[in-house]
Amino acid sequence: MLIGTAKHSYRADEALLTTSPQRLWMAILLIALALAPLALDNYWLYLACLVSINVASATGLNILTGFTGLVSIGQAAFMAVGAYTVAVLEARTGLPFLVNLVVGGAVAACVGLVVGLPSLRVKGLYLAIATIAASFILHFVFVNWQSVTNGNSGINVTPASLFGVELTDYVHLYYVFVPITALMVLGAANLFRTRIGRAFIAIRDRDISAEVLGISLLRYKLLSFAVSSFYAGVAGGMWAYFFRVVTPESFPFIYSIFFLAAIIVGGMGTILGGVVGAVFMTLVPELLRFAVEWLTTIFPNAVTALSPIRTIVFGALIIGFLIAEPKGLAEIIQRIRRFFHLWPFRK
Amino acid sequence: MSAPVSLKPHRGAATQAEAARKGAPSGAAASLEVEGVSLSFGGVKALRDVSFSVAPGSITALIGPNGAGKTSMFNCISGFYKPQQGTIRYNGEDITRMHPPHRARIGFARTFQNIALFRGMTVLDNIKLGRHAHLKTNILDAFAYWGRAAREEMELRRDVEERIIDFLEINHIRNMPVAALSYGLQKRVELARALAMHPRILLLDEPVAGMNREETEDMARFILDVKEEWGTTILMVEHDMGMVMDISDHVVVLNFGEVIASGLPHEVQGNAQVAEAYLGAGEPAAIKEKIHKRASVA
Ligand SMILES: Nc1ncnc2c1ncn2[C@@H]1O[C@H](COP(=O)(O)OP(=O)(O)OP(=O)(O)O)[C@@H](O)[C@H]1O
Ligand SMILES: [Mg+2]
């Protein structure tokens, strides 16, 4: 039995944040997120919104690939489904934008269920190929289903509005997107405190013994696809409200790889991993761009050489971090945390 | 050796009532009948017309030399292999073609010859997984971790702590990843996970293989306690003759996929055919001697 019999000791032990430093850091992070727009200029707010969208989608992919072990290279296609759903609903119905986002997620989840069917038979690279194939089929649909998607010219999206305010400024969008993403990340963290999350991990680690424990592979593999696609769909919906035009080229195949890279770099199978991976993949190229701009003011002659170097440095950084810690950035953060242990509460 | 572990009766009773309310197996003993089961892999006949039965609340040992078909029999009983012929009945119901997850829900639990724990997870999470089929949390509850999900997880935690972890004396390792544990402890955690399923019938594939003397004795005591205090029916495959003779009520001997003997432990021990299967033909008295030696060495 754990420290006494009081029921609340189990409750404390099962909490998401178990130590005071963890709670303190989380509080600091939340306050920083709430106050950030005061300090950020428009460009950085734009980036913050983009990070928020990418974090939501990467967290979804992490549930599927990191936690359930089903490799998917179709996350961007599911985002596209959400984005198109939102665009169509916005154009043809008067539904509130939060409802549109949820419906976008739900439609993407249904598509995810269908795309997930091969996972009952094939794994690993074979499944990855199946999701690629599904991406191309969806792309074909977006281009050719003229009456709904308006083909190659795509659909313009009117701004979302909340309580009568049109969300056109990045500040407004920031204050809507960041809480939505935070709730999604919290939901994912909660998921892995329950039987459903444990079942996902069990399937990833050893599907035969999962079955003996009464876990239906059929149900949980499909559920994982649905949840992951729901996340992608909502993220895609936010994307639609953010860029305000959705075309078949809005969600290129490389964007799916971006998400796969994000969870690998961040750390597969940890909630923190999906978050830091998406932040890293979105912001580092921008930071490098600033570095290059700054360098060109010092070495004006090196402009042509510096810009490709930026891409190379980005690639090298990814490889470097992966060599330093194959489990991803989340593990590096954990190591730093262990190093400081209970700081600042340590005496 | 160590003091017998006792389940506090009032708590056990409460949990059983609760399990009954939820429609989960109550831990009441179950019977199993295997009838004329045959299974072959291409040319290899792993099982030929195997029949035996397991009485409710008993410990039945399935023994036999390497490759005799014991694990194959287990895989048929837990639903991984579909026998080409024969039926397997559970409390009189034909379950030969039932899917493994369904079997878990009606009261089957098993451990594996080569430990099948989730190595990256902690001991606690592994054990909690055993309870999966009896929990109700749905996806929306799970996201919110509110109301039902939180309540259910708390109940689960208490049940696992008080009925399983205390019982199997694994308090000190509950938060360790399984991969960091010794072989003997891993076997114990696998038993814990199976017990978390509140099984009515427990299949143990070589529960003490690779264990030292002390670990073997502990495990034997746990298995006996499970039978006596929980009333669970147990079917086990085991090579350790000492343990088989000590704790089983009934022994079934397989050789080349066929049942060559069955009966009380001492009857089987004295059976010349069994001795031959294990040690090759020879003078019966000498063979008996050898078996005794084996039993005391193991
Ligand atoms: N999946 C399989 N495919 C092909 N042959 C198999 C398979 N499983 C078992 N066999 C064969 O069936 C026979 C019985 O094997 P089984 O594993 O049931 O024996 P066992 O009694 O459990 O042996 P041990 O004591 O070594 O664990 C062996 O000849 C084995 O090679
Ligand atoms: Mg075997």
ipTM of the complex: 0.81
Q: Same structural domain for residues B14 and B82?
A: yes
Q: Decide: B76 in ligand 1 pocket, CB within 6 A.
A: no
- Structure tokens belonging to residue B284: 């019966």
Residue B28 lies in a domain: no
Provide the β-strand partners of residue B88. B34
Q: Same structural domain for residues B206 and B158?
A: no
Q: What is the model's pLDDT at position A342?
A: 58
**A97-152 pLDDT, tens digit each:** 999 999 999 999 999 999 999 888 888 899 999 999 999 999 999 999 999 999 89
Q: Same structural domain for residues B192 and B216?
A: no
Residue A163 lies in a domain: yes
10-residue block means of pLDDT along chain A (347 residues)?
52 80 89 93 95 97 96 96 96 90 97 93 90 95 93 89 84 95 96 94 86 91 97 97 94 94 94 95 91 83 76 88 88 82 56
Residue B36 lies in a domain: no
Residue A20 lies in a domain: no
Give the domain-ending residue among B176, B198, B220: B198
Distance B68 CA to ligand 1 centre (A): 7
CATH number at residue B288: 3.40.50.300
Q: Same structural domain for residues B144 and B207?
A: no
Residue A261 lies in a domain: yes
Residue B233 lies in a domain: yes
Q: What is the model's pLDDT at position A334?
A: 84
Residue A223 lies in a domain: yes
- Chain Cα centroid distance, residue B106: 15
B49, B83 Cβ separation under 8 angstroms: no
Tally of domains within chain A: 1
Residue A242 lies in a domain: yes
Q: Which residues of A touch B158 (CB under 8 A)?
A: 7, 10
Residue A71, domain extent: 40-342
Q: What is the model's pLDDT at position B283?
A: 56
Q: Same structural domain for residues B92 and B192?
A: no
Residue B132 lies in a domain: yes
B88, B34 Cβ separation under 8 angstroms: yes
Which one, of A197, A192, A199, lies nearest residue A16 by Cα?
A192
Q: Same structural domain for residues B96 and B134?
A: no
Residue B34 lies in a domain: no
Q: Same structural domain for residues B95 and B10?
A: yes
Q: In terms of DSSP bridges, do strands B44-54 and B32-41 run parallel, antiparallel, or are they unpaired?
A: antiparallel
CB atoms A202 and B197 under 8 Å: no
**B108-157 pLDDT, tens digit each:** 999 998 888 888 889 999 999 998 888 888 898 889 888 888 888 888 99
Give the domain-ending residue among B198, B225, B252: B198
Angstrom distance (rounded) from CA B143 to CA B292: 58
CATH number at residue A106: 1.10.3470
Residue A198 lies in a domain: yes
Longest Cα–Cα distance of chain B, Å, equals: 71
Residue A24 lies in a domain: no
Residue B131, domain extent: 122-198
Which one, of A47, A187, A309, lies nearest residue B149 by Cα?
A187
Q: What is the model's pLDDT at position B20?
A: 39
B206, B114 Cβ separation under 8 angstroms: no
- Chain Cα centroid distance, residue B73: 13
Q: Same structural domain for residues B134 and B255?
A: no
Q: Same structural domain for residues B145 and B248?
A: no
Ligand nearest to the backbone CA of B257: 1
User: Cα separations (Å) of A176 from A49, A240, B218?
Assistant: 9, 14, 58
Residues of chain B with pLDDT under 50: 1-27, 298
For B162, which residue in chain A has the nearest alpha carbon?
A1
Angstrom distance (rounded) from CA B38 to CA B48: 4
Residue A9 lies in a domain: no
Give the domain-ending residue among B198, B229, B251: B198
Q: Same structural domain for residues B97 and B219?
A: yes
Q: Same structural domain for residues B52 and B98?
A: yes
Angstrom distance (rounded) from CA B129 to CA A45: 43
Q: Decide: B40 in ligand 1 pocket, CB within 6 A.
A: no
- Structure tokens belonging to residue B140: 């929306």
Helix axis angle, B183-196 to B123-130, nearest 10°: 30
Residue B41 lies in a domain: no
Q: For tokens 């594996």, name the residue.
A: B112
Tally of domains within chain B: 2
Q: For tokens 């259910």, name the residue.
A: B152
Q: Decide: B75 in ligand 1 pocket, CB within 6 A.
A: no
Q: In whole angstroms, how large is the CA radius of gyration of chain B?
A: 20
Residue B27 lies in a domain: no
Q: Same structural domain for residues B15 and B72?
A: yes
Q: Which residues of A touch B80 (CB under 8 A)?
A: 208
- Closest CA–CA distance from residue A198 to any residue of chain B (Å): 7
A167, A88 Cβ separation under 8 angstroms: no
